[in-house]
Amino acid sequence: MAKPDPHNEDTFREIQVKSTLHAAKLPEKTILKDVENHGFGPETTFAIKLALEEAMTNAVRHGNANDPDKSIRVRFAVSNECAVIIVRDDGPGFDPDTVPDPTAPDRLSQPSGRGIMLMGAYMDEVKYRDNGREVYMLKKNGD
Amino acid sequence: MTSADTHINVKDSNGVRVIEFCDRKILDELSISELGGELNSAVDSQSGANTLLDFKNVEHLSSAALGMLITLDKRIKDKKGVLKLSNINPQIYEVFKITRLNKLFEIHESADKALASF
């Protein structure tokens, strides 16, 4: 089996979990171990952990609409240079451009709606693919 | 109020309710739900509404945790109290800055400074 390469999605490792908040935590340990093994520092690891948590929560709550019969597919590859994580849900997709800015004065006190913004702030690249069913996140090994 | 199966410690300091998190991570939605319930109980069960939430043990949080804090802030305001935060480490403070919640919450460097400001 080819060594996982962040620039070749055919080589990515894959973890599929049930779409529950409990199961959504499971890929984190494996991915962060891989990140650690490739020499990522604490700030970069913090960023990846935060973005992954937000992507998984969005997949369970919004993408899969809290349906435990649906699943989440996580594919990832880590090198010494960068980590790429792709989270895919079974939902109908969404348009990220329609998500309101949570820092707008009239939305600042809303309790939800910050996940997408945090993913964008903490990762070096975030792309929504297949009508938003899949989020691609890249983090460079930078600290 | 402290026991092995709670996520917070609650004590009183001159009429201000001081709440410390026991967990280093206020992260996933499962624990947020439990934690939110405990925080609401703490706010509802004791007299006086002014509350200090101390983050000295916290190393990580998520947007779900931010939502919980906003809900708690509203609950305390409804009781005519004030919620202040303290001891937030630089990485976590950055999350507040990015989301501009440092403008919504009054955040102090230390619990002592926060308590002196009530």
CB of A62 within 8 Å of any CB in chain B? Answer: no
Residues of chain A with pLDDT > 90, as a percent, come to 95
Considering only CB atoms, B98 lies closest to which of A43, A61, A121, namely: A121
**Could you tell me the two tokens for A81?**
């240079």
**Residue B3: pLDDT over 60:** no
* A 35-54 residues inside an 8 A Cβ radius of B: 43, 46, 49-50, 53-54
pLDDT band at A125 (very low <50, low <70, confident <90, very high): very high
pLDDT at A30: 97
pLDDT at B4: 46
The full set of domains in chain B, from first to last, is: 8-116 (3.30.750.24)
pLDDT band at A84 (very low <50, low <70, confident <90, very high): very high
| B26-68 pLDDT tens trace | 656 667 888 888 888 888 876 678 999 999 988 888 899 999 9
| A16-60 pLDDT tens trace | 999 998 999 999 999 999 999 999 999 999 999 999 999 999 999
Residue with tokens 């804090």: B69
pLDDT band at A99 (very low <50, low <70, confident <90, very high): very high
Cβ neighbours, 10 Å, residue B24: 11
Residue with tokens 């899949």: A134
pLDDT band at B81 (very low <50, low <70, confident <90, very high): very high
Residue of B nearest to A24 (CA): B28
The full set of domains in chain A, from first to last, is: 9-78+88-140 (3.30.565.10)
ipTM of the complex: 0.91
Of residues B107, B95, B118, B91, the one with CA closest to residue B54:
B107
Chain B positions touching A18 (Cβ under 8 A) are none
Residue with tokens 């109980």: B41
Measured distance CA(B32)–CA(B14) in Å, rounded: 28
Task: For helices A26-37 and A42-58, give the axis angle rounded to 10 degrees.
Answer: 160
What is the least distance, in Å, from the CA of A26 to any CA of chain B? 11
Considering only CA atoms, give the Rg of chain B.
Answer: 13
- Whether residue B91 and residue A43 make contact (CB cut-off 8 A), yes or no, is yes
- Whether residue B99 and residue A57 make contact (CB cut-off 8 A), yes or no, is no
CB of A57 within 8 Å of any CB in chain B? Answer: yes
Residues of chain A with pLDDT > 70, as a percent, come to 99
What is the least distance, in Å, from the CA of B64 to any CA of chain A? 7
